[in-house]
Amino acid sequence: MAAIPPPGIYVPVPTFFVGKQAADYNAVAAPLDIDAQIAHSLYLARAGIKGLVILGSTGEAVHLTNKERFEVLAGVRQAFEKEGFRDYPILAGTATQIIGEAVEQLKSAKEAGSQWGMCLAPGFFAGASTQEGIIRWFTAVADQSPIPILISGSSPVLMGRLGRYHYPGVSNNVKITPSTFVTLSKHANIVGCKLSHGDISVHAQVASNPEIDHDSFRTFTGLGQQLLPVVAVGGAGAIDGCAGFFPKTVVRLYELSVKNQLTEEEARERRRLQFKISSIEELVAKFGTVGIKEAISRLRGFGERDGTRLPLHGGIPGGDAEWANWKGLADSVQEEEDRL
């Protein structure tokens, strides 16, 4: 049986680039900031985060060359080993819809020290794709991958008679049905999925499905704002953006969510934490990778607010004025972080 990632809270980390103030800044292709990458990764590991997703959509994977991908993955792995975090879980994203190139990226990820890969559903021809085609695509990648993979994809969120799918800018509205997850879960080298949408019913149809062996296939939500209900229907945890800047708070909510018997005080704490995390997650929902980087820089001091690559440019629109709209909420969550 292939190794499966342990349950818990993972962070889809951004890839850090030098900002405009750096001497080697290049407006066309800002250089990697490996030092910031390592510092942030170690901070998360020390805060109780179970593992990292590196070079996913949040990590601007499509903006990196394969050589740069290896540098990021290997740099973080070497730092973990040096600092005593042996075998710390790393899930390496892929950023291509070419099966052969996805396999090459997974081979490189293994060489760099990653235990798992995370493959985004191919969405360029989403309108013409069939579930059988998606099954064959993931099967072809998994057959050749030297490390087990997880599926990062969308499922339908029904709104009236219209279908809406998470992350249209990345997955192009590609649809993966619960039955397709059931089929793919039976592949020996496919060990889980990340569902980044708000439909708890769909999470339940995967995470609670009796046709899936949940000891060999784990279901993670991509949204900490629904961590408690997802865990209640069998989810293994979250791969959550705001855990990149409020790690202890999200980890604490997970611990309370998986606990079977709570005191009245713990039950109140769990509701309070879920409310605050759900609220601050709106920053991520509104600004995506740019918002995550902004928060990490402002709240934790890692990286530059403008440390992105084109076509992403600068920090959140509105700068200080926009951040002021979120400061009160961020301060409220920070109180929880300080307490923990």
| Closest alpha carbon to 167 in 202, 235, 120 | 120
* Rounded CA Rg of the chain: 19
Cβ partners under 8 Å of residue 254, min gap 6: 8, 9, 227, 231, 237, 238
Cβ contact 315:289 at 8 Å: no
Paired tokens of 176: 């993966």
CA distance linking residue 2 with residue 197, whole number of Å: 27
Tell whether the torsion through CA atoms of 140, 144, 145 and 149 is positive or negative. positive
CB contact burial 59-88 (16+ within 10 A = b; e otherwise):
bbbebbeeebbbbbbbbbbebbeeeebeeb
Cβ contact 74:112 at 8 Å: yes
Helix (H) or strand (E) holding 108: helix 99-112
Binding residues for pyruvate: 58, 239
Binding residues: 58, 239
What are the respective helix, strand and coil percentages of the chain, to the nearest 5? 50, 15, 40
Cβ contact 94:119 at 8 Å: yes
Cβ contact 72:64 at 8 Å: yes
Q: Give the position of tokens 């062996």.
A: 213
Mind telling me the catalytic residues?
A: 165, 194
Cβ partners under 8 Å of residue 273, min gap 6: 249, 252, 253, 256, 336
Q: Give the position of tokens 């934490």.
A: 273
